[in-house]
Amino acid sequence: MRIGRIPYINCYPVYGAIDRGIVPLDGELVDGVPTVLNRGMRDGTLDVSVISAVEYAADASRYLLLPDLGITSDGPVRSVVMFSKRPAEALSGQRVLVSRSSMTSVALLELLFEHVWHATPQFVPADAEMSDVESFERDPHEARLVIGDAALLLHTRLHAPGDAPLARPSDYQHAYDLGAEWKRWTGLPFVFAVWVAQRTADVQQALAAHGRLITSRDWGLAHLDTLAAQASLATGVARSVCLEYLSGLDYRLSYSHLAGLTEFFRRLVAAGRVPDGSLRFLPAA
């Protein structure tokens, strides 16, 4: 089987034991940013993968959710952040650069502007992985949505003490963590990504892959300190910050997570952004 993996550190807890050979996986791992993995599942070149929650809702008849596996936050997520030079409510008509890499983050941002901040900015697709100040400042804009490791690094730089030896874009006085904004708005956790299998995939193979991913996740959650050290080396973010970040995420799909996912899909369906928000799961053996 071909199994998709996002190469951001937020996936370390799910794949850490597999990468170390502690949990064997009968399949080929394929790395890609969320939009690339979405496309791989859509065109059938991947059998099982983590994908954007919005990609699932956009074509739910194609996929089956893997139970109890997702990338979620019940409050701040720290790696999906809109950095802005002015308050979000004051961004009507202004250029807001949005990630090409994450459909879910962009859809959530659009809902927040419409229902919470009551502003109508001009959304401009841009790269999401820029973490150096020069790249961050290059395009004329008032705000920028950044995701993944770059968001965590920028958030650290923007909140560093004034005398810290880190260059930081001083014009960005406002940072909106989209996980925290969703929690404040709805009172529910937010599900950024889910694991799915093709409906046409061999059920037994998909179940076996699911079991290995769950086993690897459980190992990862028991070894977050080890994974935080690895994440620090990969990103340059302090190990303590990486540990706090990974500890703040949840990789399950509990009832509360499913309630948050259902509410998100309900709002997307009501807005005409996706056709169907039904949740359909891989059946047990």
| Residue 162 confidence (pLDDT) | 47
What is the C-alpha separation between 206 and 212, in angstroms, rounded?
Answer: 10
Stretch 175-201: mean pLDDT: 97
Hey, what amino acid is at 199?
Answer: R
CATH class of the region 2-74+190-270: alpha beta
Query: How many other C-beta atoms are found inside a 10 Å radius of the C-beta of residue 266?
Result: 11
Quick: pLDDT tens for 102-136: 889 999 999 999 999 999 999 998 865 554 444 55
| Residue 154 confidence (pLDDT) | 78
Among 98, 150, 101, 104, which Cα is nearest to 129's? 150
Dmax over Cα atoms in the chain, in whole Å? 58
Entry pTM: 0.91
Quickly state the pLDDT bin for 184 (edges 50, 70, 90). very high
Quick: pLDDT tens for 30-73: 999 888 999 999 999 999 999 999 999 999 999 999 999 999 99
2-74+190-270 shares its CATH topology with 85-186: yes
Quick: pLDDT tens for 223-262: 999 999 999 999 889 999 999 999 999 999 999 999 999 9
In this structure, are residues 23 and 222 in contact, taking their beta carbons and an 8 Å threshold?
no
Quick: pLDDT tens for 132-180: 444 555 667 899 998 888 888 877 766 554 444 334 455 788 999 999 9
Among 189, 209, 206, which Cα is nearest to 198's? 206
In this structure, are residues 178 and 46 in contact, taking their beta carbons and an 8 Å threshold?
no
In this structure, are residues 188 and 256 in contact, taking their beta carbons and an 8 Å threshold?
yes
| Residue 138 confidence (pLDDT) | 63
- Cα first-last separation, the chain: 18
- Where along the chain do its domains lie? 2-74+190-270, 85-186
Strands laid side by side in the 95-99 sheet: 122-126, 95-99, 143-147, 80-84, 174-177
Domain 85-186 CATH superfamily: Periplasmic binding protein-like II (3.40.190.10)
Strands laid side by side in the 2-5 sheet: 28-31, 2-5, 48-52, 190-198, 63-73, 249-250
Quick: pLDDT tens for 65-104: 999 999 999 999 998 999 999 999 999 999 999 988 788 9
| Residue 101 confidence (pLDDT) | 77
Among 178, 226, 207, which Cα is nearest to 9's? 226
**Neighbouring-strand partners of residue 65:** 196, 281
One-character DSSP codes across 107-157: HHHHHHIIIII----EEEEE-S---SHHHHHHS--SEEEEEHHHHHHHHHH
